[in-house]
Amino acid sequence: MGLQIHKVYDPQGWCCVSIITVVWLYNTLFVPKLILYPHYEEEHIPAVVIVLYYLVSFCCVTSLVRASIADPGQLPQNPELSYSESQHWEACNKCNKLRPKRSHHCSRCGHCVRKMDHHCPWINNCVGEDNHWLFLLLCFYTEFLSFLTLIFNFCQYYYLQPLTKVNEHLW
């Protein structure tokens, strides 16, 4: 299977990837600075919580990059097929290439993709046979990072003790 670098030149896709990167950077820089580090300094939370947050954040951005640049299963230019295999292939209406039955043509990418699920603007790539598991991994880590951020924000306002340094500056 191997991960080959795949680039799509789509302005809308690059805009979506940029938005995701900015949101990730905001969460990675400000959630620990505003919530985790102050409570760690006052010994309300252990260091493992901060390490876990950064680990999940790193996994999230790594899976984003891998899903964005992985080849989704683009078909070769001239596949060599035996007669029995060619019975299960058909010609694409748009690019006139031979493709397997469950392949689809992506109008954004301009080529056919094996077992194409959809073209995702958030990764600026098609989700197909070769990168489907990377897309699911990205969804999992993004959901887990969002869940951690939600829990930390909830704990900040309803569970953790008030910060003494903040209270000293207010009086």
Q: Tell me the pLDDT of the chain (171 aa) as tens digits.
A: 455 566 666 777 778 878 888 888 888 888 888 788 887 887 878 889 899 999 999 999 999 989 988 888 877 766 666 555 666 777 788 887 778 778 888 888 888 888 888 888 888 888 998 889 999 999 999 999 989 888 888 887 777 666 666 555 554
Of 156, 56, 61, which is closest to residue 48 (Cα–Cα)? 56
SS3 category, 80: coil
Q: In this predicted structure, what is the pLDDT of residue 55?
A: 94
Model's pTM, two decimal places? 0.76
Catalytic residues: 120
Beta carbons of 116 and 128 less than 8 angstroms apart: yes
Q: In this predicted structure, what is the pLDDT of residue 160?
A: 64
Question: What is the rounded end-to-end Cα distance, in angstroms, of the chain?
Answer: 62
Beta carbons of 115 and 128 less than 8 angstroms apart: yes
Of 27, 37, 55, which is closest to residue 163 (Cα–Cα)? 37
Of 169, 165, 168, 134, which is closest to residue 42 (Cα–Cα)? 165
| Residues in contact with 154: Cβ distance below 8 Å, sequence separation at least 6, in sequence order | none
